[in-house]
Every structure is written in C-alpha cells, then in structure tokens.
Amino acid sequence: MLPEPDELAGALLDLAVPHEDIDTAVRLGRRVTDDPRALACLERSVALLVQDMGEVRAPVDLPAYPGSCEATARHFPLYVFAAALPHVRAYHRELGVPEEISRHTLADVGRGVAKHHRRHGTGGLLKPRWLHLHFHGELYQLGRLQFQRTRLGSWTGDAVAAAGLPAGPGDPALGVHVPDFLGPLTPEACDRSVALARAFFARHFPREPYAVATCGSWLLDPQLKRYLPPDSHIVRFQERFRLSHLPEEPDDMAPVRYVFGTTDVPLDRLPRRTRLERALVDHLRDGGHWYVGHGWFAWKGMGGDSNG
C-alpha cells in the first residue's frame, strides 16, 4: 500500500529524491490511491519486487502503470520503491547491514531521478529496472563503487577458469559498478571501496564464496588509453582488471550517455571541456567506435587495489 502523503514525502526524502520533485510526486500519488486499478498494480509490483528477497535472480518485469496520465506514469516507479522500502530495510536489518550502507544504497533512487532530469528535463523515473537490484538485496553502495551479487557469465567465467582460479560460468561473483554524481573515480577511493566490500561481503554473505570481481563498462575499452595519460583515473581503474573480452558490436552511445547525460545532441554540439570529452567525440567523428569491455580481478588476493 502507498504510504499516506506525509509518510510518502518522508520516504521519498529518505530515497534522496530531489526536494523540488517531492511535492509533485506526493500530489500525483493521489491518482494512484484514488484508482483501484492503479492500487492493484502497485501492490502487484511490490510483491514481485520483494519476492524471494535476497536471492540472486534474473531481472523481473513489473507491470506498467495502468492509467492515462503521463506524469503519474513517470512517477509510478517511485511509489513502488516507497512502498517496498519497509521490506528491504527489514532485510538489511536481518543481515545486520549498517544503517549508513543501507541508506547510501537506496539513495540511488534519487540519483536515478537526477539522471532523468538531466536527460529529459522532467521529474520521474522512466527506467527503474536497474534499481530492482537495490530493493532485492542484490546490490550495495560501498564508498565510491557499487557491488552486485551476481554469477559469472560464459565469457568471463571461461577466462577466469583459464587463468587457473577456482571458478567458472555460473559461479558467484561480485559485479563492480561506477555510479555517477559521486565525485572523482580516484584510485584511493576505489581502494577504499574494495576494502569495504571485502569486509562487508565476508561478514554479511559468508556462504557465498566469491573468487572474482567483474566489471562490464565502457570504462574498460582499451582504446581510451590512446587518449588519456597513464595516471588518469580511468586508466588506473582499467588496470585493476584483466580484460576477458570485447563484444563484436560497438556501443558508441554508452560513454556519451554517461559523460554528457544525453544522446540527443549532435556530436559537433557536445562540450569539449575535458580531455575525456574531446576523446569521446573526436574518436566517433573520425569513424571510430566505442565498446563495453568486460574484465575481472581476483577477489581474495591483492588484485583490485591501485598498486596491483
């Protein structure tokens, strides 16, 4: 059930939804509480979201808002997350997850709203699927990085096994993610995150034997080393990982979307303030492509720190 208006405002504030969006979200929430179909959809969505809480599972598709109001549809995922908040908090408490880590993890909702604002100029959250991981106990924010409980896919799993580690496709792993709006990706910040994560998962998920951490990101495209100095934060981040593979198909817009916040602006109109911005644009204008690289490092050894 959707919280009452005053409780809804507090829940959205806890989820780091920007202050200027809260009044609109609370007002539009009345369209949900006054519509039996929308309420049933909300309850079904929450039930699916928190089902088998904590189990690593394939992504689930939640039902779409059944009404005709476009603004309410944009905000509907916020109501689902607000209604699911007590469930995930209870799971975190059961595990003994520190309140600060729980709060920082779930605050990714507000980051999603901010990204939506940057790209579309409106409030809401049109692509909430990523956040299902947070509300199912599968992903945690630990310092600068996020860590997802997952399983090795075939490409990276085969590479890990070939390197002699005791893991392969289907085995537990931790996926590393780099959220935006969180300051520089310094080697020191990443070292701290990895150290926090090693302690966190050993304590709260001791029955999941992680052999490796993985990452799939445009940040691991080796071509970036042609444009960035060896001591740049991105190159230092790349060097944490052993590259397992690059897909055959490029994903040119992945870095553009992350760095510029939009893919709707022509390349010749994008800003060129930094070396990275110039590299991304010039590479594409010269006929090149960007790829999402996939890599890994050993979780229990010294891999993953900035010196090894």
CA distance linking residue 15 with residue 265, whole number of Å: 30
Encoded tokens for 288: 């090149």
CA distance linking residue 153 with residue 164, whole number of Å: 17
For residue 294, give the nearest of 251, 253, 244, 254 by alpha carbon: 244
- Distance set, CA 87 to CA 49, 78, 151, 173 (Å): 10, 15, 24, 25
pLDDT in tens, the chain (308 residues): 899 999 999 999 999 999 999 999 999 999 999 999 999 999 999 999 999 999 999 989 999 999 999 999 999 999 999 999 999 999 999 999 999 999 999 999 999 999 999 989 999 997 899 999 999 999 999 999 999 999 999 999 999 999 999 999 999 999 999 999 999 999 999 999 999 999 999 999 999 999 999 999 999 999 999 999 999 999 999 999 999 999 999 999 999 999 998 899 999 999 999 999 999 999 999 999 999 999 999 998 544 665 44
CA distance linking residue 173 with residue 241, whole number of Å: 14
Domains of the chain by residue range: 5-137, 140-247+291-298
In the prediction, which pLDDT does 302 show? Answer: 41
In the prediction, which pLDDT does 306 show? Answer: 56
Give bridge partners of residue 297 from the DSSP assignment.
Answer: 213
In the prediction, which pLDDT does 301 show? Answer: 57
In the prediction, which pLDDT does 308 show? Answer: 41
- Distance set, CA 18 to CA 10, 15, 110, 173 (Å): 12, 9, 6, 33
Single-letter amino acid, residue 299: W
In the prediction, which pLDDT does 307 show? Answer: 46
The upper half-sphere exposure of residue 141, i.e. CA atoms within 13 Å in the direction of its Cβ, equals 21
Fold of 140-247+291-298: Aminopeptidase (3.40.630)
Q: Are 161 and 296 in contact (CB under 8 A)?
A: no
3-state secondary structure the chain: CCCCHHHHHHHHHHCCCCHHHHHHHHHHHHHHHCCHHHHHHHHHHHHHHHCCCCCCCCCCCCCCCCCCCHHHHHHHHHHHHHHHHHHHHHHHHHHCCCHHHHHHHHCHHHHHHHHHHHHHCCCCCCCCHHHHCHHHCCEEEECCEEEEEEECCHHHHHHHHHCCCCCCCCCEEEEEECCCCCCCCCHHHHHHHHHHHHHHHHHHCCCCCCCEEEEEEHHHCHHHHHCCCCCCHHHHHHCCCEEEECCCCCCCHHHHHHHHCCCCCCHHHCCCCCHHHHHHHHHHHCCCCCCCEEEEEECCCCCCCCCC
For residue 209, give the nearest of 173, 176, 158 by alpha carbon: 173
Single-letter amino acid, residue 159: A
CA distance linking residue 163 with residue 147, whole number of Å: 23
